Structure 1
């Protein structure tokens, strides 16, 4: 079976090091599914590793992509019922290819009610939001989000409200996000209004931060010491130094929790996520064909078909 994949053999900017390669697919390993990909998203979490940011845990050559949805075309006897069904082929091979092999116990069945465009994006951001809210519950608390227009933040905001947060505020850089955030029940605040940002930080019980840099420092400097600051990203590209007077800071990296999830817990988590995700607002998508892969590297919220 021939398989076409988007691979990188060295680290660098995706548009310069990512290449389309066709080769014969290796035989299916025992206990694995083979999935014909239908759709996969382009996410910051897909592109950043290509640059070499996590080179210490990536073996080259590598196939890009961490999530997506496909249809099972081959399975071991214990998972034969999945043949012809849609699954998320996760925690196996890179997903930016025509055929993905993944452990049968870790493939997530997709309910019929979930469209491909939503299923393809059901891993990185939804699972991160779900885990953060489980680890740092928002019930009865005033919540502040940074990068509030991002996919992970809008899920954090909506789900925090459903879990009993008293108020959820979202810091955004562009005014185009304000109306959208209000429609989700998230109170928008412009990032350049620093006095408002500091006032909200001082009154917040928990902050979920995806930016780092100067914004994180401004928020931390205003927060009460009894509050909690959850850092799950550095979209600014700038780290920040902790000071003694800051509140408690918690660093969240989704990969640190995956190995602790046994297959049964992994499957149960997604059964919960599906019902929450289908009832939530999420970003729109632009569909592009697999052949336009160079364009894909420049679109962080793009789903493409194989």
Structure 2
């Protein structure tokens, strides 16, 4: 007798996400046909997770929560030959944004096309393999910047997992980073990772500090994942530079001053979708590079703060809401 598939669904269109009240755990039959059936074992709970749900609802009416995770191959569909039963894999759920099924990692079992699976090396623990989509996002982002060696980038929410990986990658590729945080206690952590400068936005004048650091030139590019008024960040960018919006942790609106527009500052959206959808061979190559960086300890996962079983997903959400990810990563296992 097949086990039921416990699946966390989000009621699309609802804004009340962070306490989990608009999410529900349902049971549906375990999938048994087509592609590869993966039994999910490990899933991170990101603050950014809930922001991405609004995007998922645009493409799919059937929204299963979860953009990252890892699991074991449970069944092989007809024609599937690249993987073995029991093999550890990382599914790329971003591809399912365009899929009516809206697959995600917050379920016991999922059906994934073979080309959307990546084999996880034995050297990579589950907790790291479950965060590959976020780590790859940081890798692809810094790669896409096209930043000349020695130039400065500026990023908000630098204490996040993506922010920390951006710091390490920038350092490795000879770039300089100015990082905005809201707490002094995180400054030394980011400096130890390789951050060139860290600014506390609650106690320091961001624009004045950036001018001081760059000798009045400004940064080459700004990266914002918060939203809302970004004029202070945009004012730190050199004439004709770029402001990349990569997230909306606080607001879906980005407000930029006319003065910065007159200076030729370009506000652009950046996301991982083109990398995932349009060039899967390139995606796999980049993610393998990310895996090598983890193996070489150039990239490292933040410590695991707490673990919850899948059925206690609301407790996991509340923990993320309370901690804002400051102590480390919250994981759900099954």
1:239-258 superposed matches below 5 A: 239-241=254-256, 243=258, 244-246=261-263, 247-258=265-276
* Paired position in structure 1 for 2:185: 176
Q: What secondary structure, in the 3-state scheme, does the structure 2 residue paired with 1:40 have?
A: strand
- CA gap 1:80/1:218 in 2 versus in 1, 3 angstroms: closer
Show CA shifts across 1:210-253 (max 9, x none): 22323x21121243214332221222314213533242333202
Q: Structure 2: give runs of 5+ residues left out of the alignment.
A: 97-102
* Paired position in structure 1 for 2:293: 276
Q: How many residues align?
A: 298
CA shift for structure 1 position 110:
0.7
Selected match of 1:22 from 24, 27, 42: 27
* Paired position in structure 1 for 2:311: 291
Show CA shifts across 1:93-140 (max 9, x none): 2111111110111101111111111111111x2122122122113322
- 1:120 matched to 2:130: yes
1:54-73 superposed matches below 5 A: 55-60=57-62, 62-73=63-74
CA shift for structure 1 position 49:
4.5
Q: Is the 8 A contact 2:155 2:179 kept in 1?
A: yes
Selected match of 2:141 from 120, 128, 132: 132
CA shift for structure 1 position 53:
5.6
- CA gap 1:241/1:169 in 2 versus in 1, 3 angstroms: closer
Q: What secondary structure, in the 3-state scheme, does the structure 2 residue paired with 1:3 have?
A: strand
1:182-261 superposed matches below 5 A: 182-186=191-195, 187-200=197-210, 202=216, 203-214=218-229, 216-237=230-251, 238-241=253-256, 243=258, 244-246=261-263, 247-261=265-279
Measured in 2, the distance between the counterparts of 1:159 and 1:80 equals: 31
* Paired position in structure 2 for 1:105: 115
Q: What secondary structure, in the 3-state scheme, does the structure 2 residue paired with 1:271 have?
A: helix
CA shift for structure 1 position 194:
4.2
RMSD: 2.2
Q: Is the 8 A contact 2:206 2:232 kept in 1?
A: no
Measured in 1, the distance between the counterparts of 2:238 and 2:51 equals: 33
- CA gap 1:107/1:242 in 2 versus in 1, 3 angstroms: farther
Report the TM-score when normalising by structure 2. 0.82
Q: Is the 8 A contact 2:82 2:114 kept in 1?
A: no
Report the TM-score when normalising by structure 1. 0.89
Q: What secondary structure, in the 3-state scheme, does the structure 2 residue paired with 1:259 have?
A: helix
Show CA shifts across 1:124-182 (max 9, x none): x21221221221133221222211101111111110110111x2221100122112101
Q: What secondary structure, in the 3-state scheme, does the structure 1 residue paired with 2:278 have?
A: coil
Q: Structure 1: give runs of 5+ residues left out of the alignment.
A: none
